[in-house]
Structure 1
Amino acid sequence: MDKVRGCRPNGLERHRHRLPVHLYRLRLGWLLGGRFLLLAHVARRSGRVLRTVVEVVEHEPVSGAYLVCSGFGERSDWYRNLRVRPRASVQVGLRLLRVEADFPEPGEGAELMARYAERHPRTAGAPAGCAAGAPVPAEEYRRLGRCLPFVRLVPRSGPYAAVPLPR
């Protein structure tokens, strides 16, 4: 897969991206509401539990699943780790859940991105090749959604000894 949103952050930009994790560590994750979640996942090589904050694209109230997207494509460490070890845990606001990762097909990703862009046009931004400030057709977001990897985090019951709940 091509680089979707440029290279991974480093230096000061990386610290800025890690600020929400520190909010959760200080028990202030509820300030981020339901738009973000803290994902605790197991590293594919070291086996360490790692934590990252990702934006929620959609929440399915019936199943309780949260859909998230890897804005940096399939090369994001958290995405690659979930591919190898799909069991994880999340914290959304004050709720703690044990989840299992499921990976939707690109066609479903296209529809997810179109709905997300309709609800959050500023956050979705304009896909490459679209003029800034001009209305963006939904089909452009669908095209982008086919390229981005989405993950459905489905709540599961039972012990997941490998992944402690985030704290």
Structure 2
Amino acid sequence: AQHQDQGQYECQVSSHPPIVYIVYLHVVVPELEIADERGLPIRNKFYNEGSTIELKCVISRVPQPSHFIMWKHGTRILNYDTTRGGISVKTDILETGAKSRLFIANANIHDSGNYSCALGEVASTTVSVHVLNGETPAAMQHGGAKGVGVWWLPLLLLLCTVLYQA
């Protein structure tokens, strides 16, 4: 069943008098969210090369997960295709859903990309992971070069203050 199937349905037996039975179908749509190691929801996450990537997929609004929980890096399934080594998945089934954790040890630049957590074909969510090789996230986001500092900003502020008061 899908969310658009939700609603009132009527079963009727052609008899005299007619027998009518009305049911209401309530479809619960699972919610998936990827969080970081602190449990905070994320869409983008930056890691330093050599660190351990830890992503948590929290699945809620599911009475009992009847579908397999799967992690992918791009299109590659991580639950079974772990030729890289250092990849592990731990999944706990909870009363109203599940929590699946993906660990990738000794992260390198090839581990950058989109990671998705899926509950079978029912629902999925994706996060972008960026593994940095000595750069800071700010430098990556703004296209800055390595070693370019902001040491001159206080001097610029002082110069502006002096010129303004002159």
Q: TM range, normalised to the smaller chain?
A: under 0.3
Q: Which has the larger radius of gyration?
A: 2
- When you count strand as a share of all residues, which structure comes out higher? 2
TM-score by length of 2: 0.24
Instruction: Flag the structure with higher helix content.
Output: 1
